[in-house]
């Protein structure tokens, strides 16, 4: 029976990417079931990096992969900071009894990042870094980061807090340049990056299904929160339904991740004949639907249409030929339960223009945020302080009743650090997407689709997955082999 399973899934135990994928998945499941304390998790991640080094014989790649994986788990030492005493907002006292607070964290990934820095300094000291390869795109990324620091120094009323919130962005930008200038074997890093995505997604699907069945978090250390989010109060929402969050801090952030990695799994399916990859794709779609995130659904739909256009009209693949009646019936039966689950959520879209809907809330937020941008167009309000400034400026505005950041990542950057800050970021993204397309490779195209997915989802959320975005943009796709995942091209890829 074991041999039959190996035959079905084309498992190759001697494949390097297979070994990494399997070990990482076992590692994550071990953490889940053992449920260790934070300090032990740090030690276990260091062991993971050591094992990855044994597999790859490349310390730089092992450190990047270990850090990337650990960055998805917001566990560590947590500190709470009060941003505003809400005694003048009696309607919020019951929900926020200790005032408007936020949390900052020293996480496991921060510890691993220290090892990355030491390694990078060592490589730099040995003069193995060629800075002549730096491009205008890289300069815009540098300008984006340092202008944000400058803006906080000029306007932030809580400078240390604002600068601390830049910590994660600094680490991800550091990883970006490490991949660009230090990692030589881009092809190996890319293949193992995809292996890590598969392992982590399978693990998240396992957690999501558990949470969905229990209609609550499970209570494991790896989970970011044990609270059940209040959901369904808007006129375009369901009355109440638990939304699984996996190990993320919010269901919408989880959905953004799932939507952004679907193009990569579609890429692998077009290159490989593994049924295993199709199962991973199906589990990812299932998990995405369970999040009930309409923004992520929209982003996924658009990315799916782009991929179809690319395969049909650029690669001249006639996809309909690969669909038999048997396959259509099977796909329909698999999708039927998900359709029943998601249709009520989709149906509520008809109420988006009503008072109290999600769109109405975003429009009201946008109006007040634009006023703040006009008030300080160059430097903004300071990182993490836009809600406080909005409440102080308009005590009867939307933020006084819903004290959450503007649900548009790009407007959030503009209001907190100024229009030039947003400008640097938009130019960096635009030029990076142009470079991805100019590679004229299948891997870079699907990477570009993933970035577009993140951008679309970010238009409706106050966050974006910078770690995923920057790593995708850091790769030199000219140095990445276009060989399939298992070195066997599938004649009928879809």
Give alpha helix (H) positions in 310-408. 325-347, 358-375, 386-393
Written as six digits, the tokens of 294 are 């309409």
Q: Say how far apart CA 113 and CA 308 lie, in whole Å.
A: 39
At residue 83, the 3 state secondary structure works out as: strand
Q: Say how far apart CA 55 and CA 34 lie, in whole Å.
A: 24
Tell me the pLDDT band of 354, cut-offs 50, 70 and 90. Answer: low
pLDDT, one tens digit per residue, over 443-452 is: 999 999 999 9
At residue 313, the 3 state secondary structure works out as: helix
Where would I find the beta strands (DSSP E) of 85-174?
A: 100-107
Q: What is the DSSP letter of 98?
A: T
Contact 192, 186 (CB under 8 A): no
**Which segment of 39-53, 129-143, 197-211, 336-350 scores lowest on mean pLDDT?**
336-350
pLDDT, one tens digit per residue, over 224-250 is: 876 666 554 544 455 556 789 999 988
pLDDT, one tens digit per residue, over 5-52 is: 444 444 445 578 899 999 999 999 999 999 998 899 999 999 999 999
Residue 329 has pLDDT above 70, yes or no: no
pLDDT, one tens digit per residue, over 110-154 is: 999 999 999 999 988 887 676 677 899 999 999 999 999 999 999
- Average pLDDT (324-329) is 62
Q: Which residue has the higher pLDDT, 85 or 146?
A: 146
- Average pLDDT (280-287) is 93
pLDDT, one tens digit per residue, over 241-278 is: 678 999 998 899 999 999 999 999 999 888 877 789 98
Q: Nearest CA to 455 among 302, 265, 286, 291?
A: 302
Q: Nearest CA to 20 among 51, 63, 61?
A: 51
- Average pLDDT (51-69) is 95
What's the predicted TM-score (pTM) here? 0.90
At residue 401, the 3 state secondary structure works out as: coil
């Amino acid at each position: 029976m074991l041999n039959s399973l190996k035959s079905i899934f084309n498992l190759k135990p001697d494949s390097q990417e297979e070994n990494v994928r399997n070990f990482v998945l076992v590692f994550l499941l071990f953490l889940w079931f053992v449920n260790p304390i934070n300090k032990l998790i740090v030690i276990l991640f260091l062991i993971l990096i050591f094992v990855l080094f044994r597999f790859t014989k490349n310390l730089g790649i092992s450190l990047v992969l270990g850090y990337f994986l650990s960055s998805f788990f917001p566990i560590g030492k947590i500190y709470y900071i009060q941003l505003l005493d809400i005694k003048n907002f009696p309607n919020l006292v019951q929900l926020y009894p200790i005032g408007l607070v936020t949390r900052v964290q020293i996480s496991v990934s921060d510890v691993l990042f220290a090892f990355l820095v030491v390694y990078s300094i060592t490589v730099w000291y040995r003069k193995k870094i060629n800075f002549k390869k730096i491009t205008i795109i890289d300069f815009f990324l540098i300008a984006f980061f340092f202008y944000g620091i400058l803006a906080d120094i000029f306007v932030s009323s809580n400078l240390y807090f604002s600068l601390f919130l830049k910590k994660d962005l600094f680490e991800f930008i550091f990883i970006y340049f490490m991949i660009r200038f230090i990692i030589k074997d881009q092809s190996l890093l890319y293949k193992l990056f995809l292996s890590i995505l598969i392992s982590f997604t399978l693990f998240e699907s396992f957690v999501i299904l558990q949470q969905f069945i229990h209609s609550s978090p499970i209570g494991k250390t790896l989970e970011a929160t044990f609270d059940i989010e209040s959901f369904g109060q808007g006129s375009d929402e369901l009355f109440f339904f638990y939304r699984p969050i996996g190990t993320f801090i919010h269901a919408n952030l989880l959905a953004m991740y799932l939507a952004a990695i679907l193009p990569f799994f579609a890429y692998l399916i077009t290159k490989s004949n593994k049924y295993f990859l199709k199962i991973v794709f199906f589990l990812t779609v299932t998990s995405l639907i369970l999040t009930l995130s309409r923004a992520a659904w929209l982003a996924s739909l658009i990315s799916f249409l782009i991929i179809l256009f690319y395969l049909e009209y650029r690669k001249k693949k006639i996809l309909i030929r690969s669909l038999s009646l048997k396959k259509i019936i099977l796909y329909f039966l698999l999708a039927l339960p998900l359709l029943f689950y998601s249709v009520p959520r989709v149906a509520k879209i008809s109420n988006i223009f009503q008072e109290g809907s999600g769109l109405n809330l975003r429009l009201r937020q946008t109006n007040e945020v634009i006023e703040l941008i006009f008030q300080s167009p160059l430097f903004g309000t300071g990182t993490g302080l836009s809600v406080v400034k909005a409440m102080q400026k308009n005590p009867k505005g939307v933020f006084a009743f819903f004290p959450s950041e503007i649900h548009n990542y790009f407007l959030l950057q503009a209001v907190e650090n100024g229009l030039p800050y947003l400008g640097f970021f938009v130019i960096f993204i635009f030029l990076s997407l142009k470079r991805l397309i100019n590679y004229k490779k299948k891997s870079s195209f699907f990477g570009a689709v993933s970035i577009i997915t993140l951008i679309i989802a970010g238009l409706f959320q106050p966050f974006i997955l910078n770690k995923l975005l920057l790593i995708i943009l850091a790769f030199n796709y000219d140095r990445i082999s276009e060989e399939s995942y298992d070195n066997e091209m599938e004649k009928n890829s879809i």
